[in-house]
Amino acid sequence: MNVLSQAWEAYRLRWKRRRLLYRALRKRRQLRPVVDRTGRIAPGDILCFSTVRNEAVRLPFFLAHHRALGVRHFLIVDNDSDDGTRDYLEAQEDVSLWRTQASYKLSRFGVDWLTWLQIKHGHGHWCLTLDADEILIYPHHETRPLPALVDRLEQSGRDSFGVLMLDMYPKGPLAVHPYEAGDDPFERLCWFDGGNYMIQKKPELHNLWIQGGVRARKFFADRPERAPTMGKMPLVKWNRRYAYVSSAHSLLPRRLNRVYDEAGGERLSGVLLHTKFLNTVVDRSAEEKQRQEHFANSDLYDSYYDALTENPDLWCETSTRLIGWRQLEAMGLMSKGNWI
């Protein structure tokens, strides 16, 4: 790419970022505060941002795990829950909560709402952006909490941290593994696909587009290019001028997407253990198919939702049982880089 083309591309992406920030400014009117405890946020606190809907069963473990890692405050948007999610979150002293009945899909799947909260409250903080069914782990996470991780990233001159989202599932039909709020989901979701990942570098934003795992194997075997992307940048030292482009899969400015070593080495990275396939997914899939709120091309996912409502068994002979982060590092699914 010549100098003129590079200048034009930089100009175009700069305006794209400004449009995304303007969208967030407009969408802020869709949010209504339920309880605002952001005055308790201290300089240096690590924050977590999330949009949720009917996640009362997942939230106790989600909050407990990330509190133990070092998150000091959770800023959450409740998208019209009716299962007690709002009451539960309102009672948590380290949660600030907003509600909305607006379209999740038309808010760029909640990203516009969270971008506004990140502009207002995240500037200068390391911020996690997660769904309630995502559990962050990384090398040494049991003994080195998030403040140690972000210190290491800053020492390396990094403002963002990359992860692979790893779909976890049980052995046997999904619905026969009941789950209660507060339980460890990985006592049931013990298995994952470890060796079927495809990676490509996206030319526009320079992020890695990773596809694979059980969803690619089980639901998109005949159209692998449509399988969900599994690479994310959920942890960022936020600046009010930043914006996610596609969920937490890509960012602007695009330098934040370079969470990999282009010279062929390894950079410190982690994994999001994905708890989507709890038994609750069987009943919720019919609802999500009807709502048509979760995918840009929802019609392409109808067969996916139909398959989930049939209570499938996702396990196969090549499934791998989760042992711990060292196993995932040895398999090349995360890296400790030079963090000894």
Residue 94 pLDDT class (50, 70, 90 cuts): very high
The rounded distance, in Å, linking the Cα atoms of 320 and 173 is 17
Averaged pLDDT score across all residues of the chain: 93
pLDDT at 194: 94
167 sits in which H/E element: strand 160-167
Residue 263 pLDDT class (50, 70, 90 cuts): confident
pLDDT digits (tens, 9 = 90+) for 42-81: 999 999 999 999 999 999 999 999 999 999 999 999 999 9
pLDDT for residue 102 is more than 80: yes
pLDDT digits (tens, 9 = 90+) for 278-306: 999 987 776 666 665 555 555 566 778 78
pTM for this entry: 0.95
pLDDT average, residue stretch 103-127:
97
pLDDT average, residue stretch 139-152:
98
Write the burial class of residue 206 (CB in 10 Å: 0-12 exposed, 13-18 middle, 19+ buried).
Answer: middle
Classify domain 20-132 by CATH number.
3.40.50
Residue 246 pLDDT class (50, 70, 90 cuts): confident
pLDDT at 198: 93
**Cross-strand partners of 136:** 272
The rounded distance, in Å, linking the Cα atoms of 226 and 165 is 16
Each domain of the chain, given as residue ranges in start order, spans: 20-132, 133-340
pLDDT digits (tens, 9 = 90+) for 157-212: 999 999 999 999 999 999 999 999 999 999 999 999 998 999 999 999 999 999 99
Cα–Cα distances in angstroms (integers) from residue 22 to residues 17, 28, 119, 240, 241, in the given order: 9, 10, 11, 12, 11
The set of residues, in sequence order, having a beta carbon less than 8 Å from that of 38 and lying 6+ positions away, is: 73, 75, 96, 121
* CB 184, CB 176: distance < 8 Å: no
